[in-house]
Amino acid sequence: MSFLEEIERRRTFGIISHPDAGKTTLTEKLLLFGGAIQEAGAVKNNKIKKGATSDFMEIERQRGISVATSVLAFIYKDKKINILDTPGHKDFAEDTFRTLTAVDSVIVVIDVAKGVEEQTEKLVEVCRMRSIPMIVFINKLDREGKDAFDLLDEVEQKLKLTVTPMSFPIGMGYDFKGIYNIYQRKLNVFSAEHKQVVSEGVEFDNIHEPALDEVIGEHAADTLREELELIDEVYPKFNQQSYNEGELQPVFFGSALNNFGVKELLDCFIDIAPNPQPKKAEERLVNSKEQKMSGFVFKIHANMDPKHRDRLAFVKIVSGTFKRNTPYLHVRQKKTFKFSSPNAFFAEKKEVVEASFPGDIVGLHDTGNFKIGDTLTEGEILNFKGIPSFSPEHFRYVNNADPMKSKQLQKGLNQLMDEGVAQLFTLELNGRKIIGTVGALQYEVIQYRLEHEYGAKCTYENIHVHKACWIQTENEKDEEFKEFKRVKQRFLAKDKQGQLVFLADSPFTIQMTQQKYPKVTLHFTSEFMNH
């Protein structure tokens, strides 16, 4: 297959949702269609112990949330599909924002009973700001839920989207009869007995055929005809260009658990979803069809295998072909590296690949050379944008609970921070370490992983910090800056990159500091530092 054909057949997307909206189940059903797993329920009840899909950390299994974002790929109708799973839990929002820099489109999962939830609003806003094409999947139709039209209104209002239904439910909850696929003009009849079997749709070129009444009953058939007429009048027709530009969002209804409406979603998705798109670097726009390789690290995962202290840096290929054993420039370090065993994630397995194409995600074994946001190229200086570190919202002192293991603690903290799990600040005054996280749950994850992966124990102690502010000043020798450092020395720390950070205890302090020291600029993300 030629390079351009390889790009044409790639689809790389993320699934975003509120916890419990059914994202893991949907992911699993998509894998089922790709023949990647043999039976449904395998991800949840861990039958495939060795290659358990996206929840491979014990702490995740206990809580039933995806903490680690993972990559799953499969082939369906000759298209290569890469799914980037994102943690639904709000404590891991930062991880999800980073993952969204690596996708070309998104599927948003919404629970029919709960409707649009706050976490979903935030993530969709990020997609909207970046004009990422979105498809909405309204899940759990076999449960009692909100009326389909009310849900569509809610999606439009709360998520500020313009929707066009591509399928429509017939009844809901107990009366759920099936789904009419508007996109393909097919009717799928639901039967609760055959939960894991995929039912083939019956085609109706004309929904006014009397046969429809026989299949779903007269009352349901009449209601469906009225509803489809209404849809026709109220909602815009699907338009490929508006969808690609992020201005129109197709909506599908279904029940992932019962494998219902998922195939319709997938069939339409591979038809309309964009293949790998150009990406903005600070220097220029990089087109996916360029021959020269470029890619960036959007995630680092430590200890994929606890027996070996290895980390995997996840690289999204933006352009060109990534080849094994070929030297590439690590732009930030200005050094060249070769990778003898780049991993691709296929179905349930990691395998070494010779070549990867734009849209693909490659896992590179890393001994500590990479951090999030790093770029690899064939020599050109490029820096891909949009992978910030946000100011944490929770702060705690971290103390070593086992003096014999201080080296292990140091190493563990360093590696976990490179992964972007949290941020580490070292106080200038006494060298005490402070961990800042976006969500409180991360403290448990860090404690758990330090103990199980590095043999180190830590305890936490509260510290009153409202926000971390990165400091920028025109002139370090300036008197005003010196005074600022003297007055605020108790609250100054260095981050892992050695940047000076002011740990402010309240919004009021930030305001006063900005008034009193106008030459000292405070930033709330570290992104301005990434150059």
The pLDDT assigned to 530 comes to 41
- CA dihedral sign of residues 347, 348, 351, 356: positive
Q: Is 276 helix (H, G, I), strand (E, B) or coil?
A: coil
Q: What is the DSSP letter of 525?
A: B
How many whole angstroms separate alpha carbon 456 and alpha carbon 309?
A: 14
Question: Rounded CA gap, 294 and 471, in Å?
Answer: 31
Locate 248 and state its tokens. Answer: 């129109």
pLDDT value of residue 294: 93
Supply the pLDDT for residue 531: 36
Q: What's the N-to-C CA distance of the chain in angstroms?
A: 38
217 vs 96: CA distance, rounded Å: 44
- Return d(Cα 308, Cα 320) in angstroms, integer: 31
Q: What is the DSSP letter of 256?
A: T
Compute the residue count for the chain.
531
Give the integer Cα–Cα distance in Å for 224 and 153.
18
Hey, what long-range contacts does 337-346 have (CB within 8 A, 24 or more apart)? 337/369, 337/376, 339/364, 339/365, 341/365, 343/312, 344/73, 345/70, 345/71, 345/72, 345/73, 346/36, 346/73, 346/74
d(CA 320, CA 265): 30
- Positions in the chain short of pLDDT 50: 39-56, 64-67, 69, 194-198, 528-531
Q: How far apart are CA 109 and CA 215, in angstroms?
A: 29
Instruction: Check the CA dihedral 212-218-219-222 and report its sign.
Output: positive
Which domains, and CATH codes, for the chain?
9-170+235-272 (3.40.50.300), 279-377 (3.40.50.300), 394-529 (3.30.70.3280)
What pLDDT sits at residue 306? Answer: 52
pLDDT reported for residue 476: 80
Q: How far apart are CA 524 and CA 420, in angstroms?
A: 16
Give CA–CA dist 494/208, Å, rounded. 70
Query: Where in 86-185 does DSSP place strands (E)?
Result: 105-111, 134-139, 163-165, 167-170, 178-181
What local confidence, expressed as pLDDT, does residue 308 receive?
54
Confidence (pLDDT) at 74: 83
The pLDDT tens digits for 108-132 are 998 888 888 877 887 888 788 788 9
